[in-house]
Amino acid sequence: MPLSPEQLAEIEELRSHTQPTLRATVPGMEAHLYKAQPVLDHGFVRVIDYMGDDSAICQAARVSYGKGTKSVQNDEGLIRYLMRHWHSTPFEMCEIKLHVKLPVFVARQWIRHRTANVNEYSARYSILDREFYIPEPDALAAQSVVNNQGRGEMLQGQEAARVLEILKADSTRAYDNYEAMISQEGQSGLARELARMNLPANIYTQWYWKVDLHNLFHFLRLRADAHAQYEIRVYADAICEMVKDWVPAAYKAFEDYRMGGATLSATALACIQRMLKGEEVTQENSGMSKGEWREFCSVID
């Protein structure tokens, strides 16, 4: 359970008072506000704030004086058009702020998305909690044999047990030693900014992360993808559920054009045209490498 009773009380306190506002407001998103959605064994995602809704996208695209909405159907069509033609700026007019608790090795992937605002819990200033990500046994995959970057089959029985044993023991020892080094009982106590270097990458950190909808969609396309590492994908999946309730029309267009869509090369388009004319196209006469052909087949089959 990732939250202490005090933290839960703080969240309940925040959820107990509404204020009147003239701003664009989404009831489906209000229902999420502040609540921690659990992810992995100690992590979570929670929405701290949001700006805009589906209408706000249209309002900005039209540079409107009023709501910018003509009709729901009309708005959906405009949003699909904008998504299809990569008109990204109207989507940038929506913003979301999340509080995320996540293992450090996930945080290191996440931070590579540069167009976002971040405040991370400081291990120079504060003491980190004793919380480490220990995978579920069925999330322990072997190194992929077809793909250098990825996972293959699941580890079985003894081997899985040994791995879990190692991860638990090393985490415990590392944290015990972290505590011993910073302790000020009977000694000076090592500076926190130094002691943290002993902590492994499965320790949890947390941050506030604020991003606009366009850049969030870019993050989700890469991180909710089947090729993303499982441990970041579960965060992306949790965020998808929130976005679906926040901007349903934009999310639907995103699913159709980005998550479910594919970018095809000129070579691939030429193959499709030949195939539609009845020609037999094989890897050998496709102009594609074996890897490209395999990816192409997975798209059109």
In the chain, the amino acid numbered 121 is Y
Q: Measured from the CB atom, is 72 or 166 closer to a copy of itself?
A: 166
Q: Which residues of 127-146 are buried (b: 16+ CB within 10 A; e: fewer)?
A: ebbebbbbbeeebbeeeeee
Nearer to a copy of itself, 72 or 201 (CB): 201
Tokens of 10: 């703080």
Which string of x and - marks every residue 224-263 that binds a copy of itself (by CB under 8 A)? -----x-------------------------xxx-xxxxx
Q: Determine, following the binding rule CB under 8 A, whether residue 81 of this chain makes contact with a copy of itself.
A: yes
- Per-residue contact string for residues 154-193; x = within reach of a copy of itself by CB under 8 A: -xx--x--xx--xx--x--xx--x--xxx-x--xxxxxxx
Sign of the CA dihedral running 59, 60, 64, 66: positive
Residues with Cβ within 8 Å of residue 110, at least 6 apart in sequence: 100, 102, 209, 223, 232, 235
Cβ distance to a copy of itself smaller for residue 61 or 243 = 61
Q: What angle do CA 290, 226, 218 make, to 5 degrees?
A: 105
Stretch 4-23 residues interacting with a copy of itself (CB under 8 A): 6-7, 10-11, 13-15, 17-23
294 forms part of the interface with a copy of itself (CB under 8 A): no
Taking the complex as a whole, the smallest distance from the CB of residue 43 to a copy of itself amounts, in Å, to: 13
Q: 39, 45, 79, 103: which one contacts a copy of itself (CB under 8 A)?
A: 103
Task: Give the separation between CA 245 and CA 9, rounded to whole angstroms.
Answer: 25
Site membership for a copy of itself, residue 43 (CB under 8 A):
no
Q: Contact with a copy of itself (CB under 8 A): which of 28, 74, 161, 269? A: 269
The answer to whether 46 and 241 are in contact (CB under 8 A) is no
55 binds a copy of itself (CB under 8 A): no
Binding-site size for a copy of itself (CB under 8 A) equals 137
Does position 42 interact with a copy of itself (CB under 8 A)? The reply is no
Distance between CA atoms of residues 244 and 221, nearest Å: 14
Structure tokens at 49: 């704030």
32 phi and psi angles, rounded to 5 deg: -85, -25
Give residue 218's identity as a one-letter amino acid code.
Answer: H
* Residues annotated as part of the active site: 223
Q: What's the burial of 250, exposed, middle or buried (CB within 10 Å: 0-12/13-18/19+)?
A: buried
Sole binder of a copy of itself in the list 43, 90, 243, 249 (CB under 8 A): 90
Considering only 216, 268, 286, 293, the residue that binds a copy of itself (CB under 8 A) is 268
Comparing CB distances to a copy of itself, the nearer of 94 and 238 is 94
